[in-house]
Amino acid sequence: MTDQTTDLTLQDQKSKEAYFTASQRQLIWARFKKQRAAMIAAMVLVVLIVSGIFAPFLSPYDPTIAGRDKDYTNGAPQIPQFCDKNGCTIRPFIHAVERERSMATNFRWVTKINEDKRIHLTFLPKGDSYKLFGFIPGSRHLFGAEEGKIHLFGTDEDGQDIFSRTLHAIWTSLKVGSIGVFIAFVLALIIGGVAGYYGGWIDGVIQMVTDAVRTVPAIPLFMAVAAFMPPEMTAEARFFYISLILGLIGWPTLARRVRTHLLTERNQEYVLAAQLCGASSSHVIRRHLLPSFTSYIIVDLVISFPYMVLSETALSFIGLGLKDPVSSLGVMLQKATSADVMLNYQWYFIPVIFFIALVMAFVFVGDGLRDAADPYSDTNK
């Protein structure tokens, strides 16, 4: 009994030593792991990010080519199976489909499934060429079909594969959000750091500029920008301008938080010691003040990321953002607004599920990081 008590005492001492000697990053990670919802959201977020990064390989077709499957426009999702009325097989397959007009649906095109003909799936087939990460050429895809094509999420009115478009749309939204957050992050650190460190009239002038930027309405601004964008502008140029504007109007909130923290920390003893040693203002801000709350800045960035994604999606949805042939969640949602789609082609809304999962994953991860970075949070007791 005495030995067990001694072992428990030693374990407690080791755990306390590890706690007091752990870095801020290790403490935040230890607190974050205790939150089940945040951990699940983090795993979902990792899956979505990986799916977006490797979208050219994971998707069977190039989503930018309109009329990819002209014989299967507005086609229903095709779910691979192993068994049917003719028996079972080891290889997954789909049934062949036939398109014809039906009097029962006012001569609309309807899809009939030919259960007597199987189309087996193939893995790592050669298909449309792509560049992974923008510079690694490739033509292999994760899966495909021996004859014809396979559409896991169905097709849209142009015959484009919704599954391929969804994966590429996730990557597009992540890129827009990343660029916008990076621009806002750099501006917030520079402007908020100068305002918080110097204070006085400099702080007053910067706060006036910050308030002026915050009062600029986003929708009229994008309407004006869209009016000046020529119709022949490339998709890459439109993508760049959208990301730039989102970053230029998204920095004031983070800049205010940086300013507030620096106003509190600039009179601390370690800052005064650095100043007495002859350190320049930029050195004090860069090497002493900003690292003192790096974790909080990271949390703010993660929390602001879904708002960037929401902004891009909303602007593309109303026609002020990205447009075809770029695959983004907002562009895809544009095609799901008609009553005909809502009544007859519900698979158009499958990308909405991924959009909600992406935004909610960022929200839960951001909330979890915020609680983990707060030493006074109830979840850390």
Question: Cα separation of 375 and 19, whole Å?
Answer: 13
pLDDT(154) > 80: yes
Nearest C-alpha neighbor of 296 from the set 266, 258, 262: 258
Residue 251 has a pLDDT of 84
Phi, psi of 140 (to 5 degrees): -85, 140
In the predicted model, is pLDDT for residue 150 greater than 80?
yes
Report the candidate in 195, 206, 167 with the shortest Cα–Cα distance to residue 56: 167
- Those residues whose C-beta lies under 8 Å from the C-beta of residue 352, and which sit 6 or more positions away, are 333, 336
Of 204, 199, 302, 192, the C-alpha closest to 257 is 192
pLDDT at 46: 92
Average pLDDT over residues 297-306: 79
pLDDT of residue 366: 83
Tell whether the model's pLDDT for residue 8 goes beyond 60: no
The mean pLDDT of the chain is 78
Q: What tokens were used for 360?
A: 């909610």
Percent share of the chain, pLDDT over 90? 4
pLDDT in tens, 174-212: 888 888 888 888 888 888 888 888 888 888 888 888 888
Q: Is residue 67 scored above 60 in pLDDT?
A: no
Strand arrangement, sheet containing 81-84 = 81-84, 87-102, 108-123, 143-145
Q: Is the pLDDT of residue 11 over 60?
A: no
Residues 246-259 have a mean pLDDT of 83
Q: What is d(CA 279, CA 325) in angstroms, rounded to the nearest whole number?
A: 52
190 or 112: which carries more pLDDT confidence? 190
pLDDT value, residue 21: 59
Give residue 40's pLDDT: 92
Q: Closest by alpha carbon to 23, among 335, 315, 295, 352?
A: 295
Q: Is the pLDDT confidence value at 322 over 80? A: no
Q: What is the pLDDT of residue 106?
A: 57
The pLDDT value given to residue 43: 93
Each residue of 330-373: pLDDT tens digit? 778 777 777 777 777 888 888 888 888 988 898 888 888 877 77
CA pair distance 141, 126, nearest whole angstrom:
6
Percent of the chain predicted with pLDDT > 70: 85
Give pLDDT, residue 30. Answer: 80
| Alpha carbon distance 351, 173 (integer Å) | 12
In this prediction, residues 102-130 reach a mean pLDDT of: 75
Give residue 102's pLDDT.
60
Burial 203-241, CB ≥16 within 10 A → b, else e: beebbeebeebeeeeeeeebeebbeeeeeeeeeeebbeb
Helix (H) and strand (E) counts in the chain: 15, 6
CA atoms within 13 A on the CB side of 3: 0
Average pLDDT over residues 229-255: 77
CA distances from 145 to 51, 73, 86, 163, 262 (A): 20, 17, 20, 14, 59
Write down the pLDDT at residue 29: 78
What class does CATH assign to 165-380? mainly alpha
**88: pLDDT strictly greater than 80:** yes
- At residue 89 the predicted structure's pLDDT band, cuts being 50, 70 and 90, is confident
User: Which residue ranges make up each domain of the chain?
Assistant: 78-150, 165-380
Distance of CA 81 to the CA centre of its chain: 31
More confident residue, 375 or 142: 142
The pLDDT value given to residue 47: 92
- Decide if pLDDT at 72 tops 80: no
Residue range 229-233: average pLDDT?
72
